[in-house]
Amino acid sequence: MIVMPQPDEAVLARRGEIVAALRQFVPGEGVIDAEIGRRAFECDALTAYRQLPMVVVLPETTAQVVDVLRYCAANRIKVVPRGAGTSLSGGALPLADAVLLGMGKFKRIHEIDVANRCAVVQPGVTNLAVTQAAQAYGLYYAPDPSSQIACTIGGNVAENSGGVHCLKYGLTTNNVIGVELVTMEGEIVRLGGKHFDAGGYDLLGVVVGSEGMLGVVTEATVRLLPTPPGARALLIGFSTIEGAADCVAEIIGAGIVPGGMEMMDRLAIQAAEDFVHAGYPLDVDALLIVELDGCGAEVDHLISAVESIAGKHGATTCRASQSEAERLLFWAGRKAAFPAVGRISPDYLCMDGTIPRKRIGEVLLRIKQMEGQYGLRCANVFHAGDGNLHPLILYDANEPGELDRAEQFGQDILRLCVEVGGVLTGEHGVGVEKRDLMGAMFNETDLNQQQRLKCAFDTEGLLNPGKVFPQLCRCAELGRMHVHGGKLRFPDLPRF
């Protein structure tokens, strides 16, 4: 059971005053205080957990964001930033005593800079819209999470989103080169930019993946890449999970870096094929989608090499796309896997952990054993090339106890990821979903150091509290020094 911080009754008692003040900064329909309007923001894509925000604010300008944050900082009011609400970890889950700051109206593309191969965009621009705006110049934006038609750049920055092409072209952190950030105190900070690299500490690297806990992004400069001259995809079916997993490891071991390499198990294959009719084989236990890109001769050579490796590992079917339309159809099934699974189960939890590639087969077999232990089905569809798992645990929230069992099942999967040398999250973030598992991966010293970094940006802990860290700590508690009788202990020691 996820427990959030207790609401501050003193803040709730001032709700009317707070709403009135916010309306001065964001006029018109930019402040939503009626319950029916706030209901649309009560959760993100982790719909198992819901909480009405105290008030919703939808600014349109950076100046409005500055005013809202300054007011909230001065009055010690918590703020939860929100993008498109597609987060699967509860990163945008509201708090009952907090302002929910929605950035959906920041949807302008300021510039497509062809000479510098970058785009300057507002955080409410959808991921796919960046590529669509750059297509005319033969450029595109590489990160492509499955929700790219809806998820926004600001949320991508917060969660360090990836997608099917992150194996070769990197996650958001590898493709964002600058941000404009507003701190909790209302200070506008620019990190990075169009230049190749920035001197000093890598603060941009700190902000990407910080889950809205360090500041509010109001602009991002993203890297654009030349569209590959050609690309083809292979559908490779295997009679065993182990065969597919071993094939993945050998492809990478051979020095081949596909544009994308995805894996689906039997349940996910059947659900996706019934939904999209992509031509997936239904008589296999595992399916690999391997995309090779580059010039024509290079792609043909790589396809031949991958086919040879697949044959060595018992592939029962291997089919290469013969047209761009067919390549896109292959990917359509994978991209629609999550909604496809939603057609065969009333509810599901989408987990997100990352493991070493060589342990894929072992981990999937242990997940299969857990299905029997918990009496719940699990469909696996994931980024095989970088070991980023997305187990979909199927359950029915209307059946007593099933959500609890699904949560326990998911926690065991994430503990398993850490046990085999992996990490708790690959691209969905920690949010509230994995918050209480952080101790499985980090010790107290690690967590305290991470919280000190947050304190450097947000001294009062007002930005997105209750997320990521298992325990709320004041900054003073993390850096306190005991003074007795006006004297420090060990006064002879140098202090920094």
Tokens of 44: 């993100």
d(CA 276, CA 384): 21
d(CA 233, CA 303): 8
The percentage of residues in the chain with a pLDDT greater than 90, rounded to a whole number, is 91
Pairing of strands 176-182, 216-223: antiparallel
Query: What's the average model confidence in pLDDT over 264-293?
Result: 97
The pLDDT confidence band at residue 479, using thresholds 50, 70 and 90, is low
The pLDDT confidence band at residue 481, using thresholds 50, 70 and 90, is very low
Beta bridge partners of 487: 484
Query: What's the average model confidence in pLDDT over 331-346?
Result: 94
pLDDT at 492: 53
Helical (H) or strand (E) element with 62: helix 62-74
pLDDT at 146: 87
Are 168 and 259 contacting, i.e. CB atoms less than 8 angstroms apart? yes
pTM over 0.75: yes
d(CA 248, CA 281): 19
d(CA 109, CA 316): 46
pLDDT digits (tens, 9 = 90+) for 241-250: 999 999 999 9
pLDDT digits (tens, 9 = 90+) for 95-139: 999 999 999 999 999 999 999 999 999 999 999 999 999 999 999
pLDDT digits (tens, 9 = 90+) for 447-478: 999 999 999 999 999 999 999 999 877 787 77
pLDDT at 482: 46
Are 374 and 408 contacting, i.e. CB atoms less than 8 angstroms apart? yes
Mention every residue, 6+ apart, whose C-beta is less than 8 A from residue 139. Answer: 112, 114, 117, 224, 225, 226, 227
pLDDT at 323: 96
- Asked whether residue 370 carries a pLDDT value surpassing 70, the answer given is yes
Residue owning tokens 């496809």: 340
Q: What's the distance, CA 475 to chain centroid?
A: 27
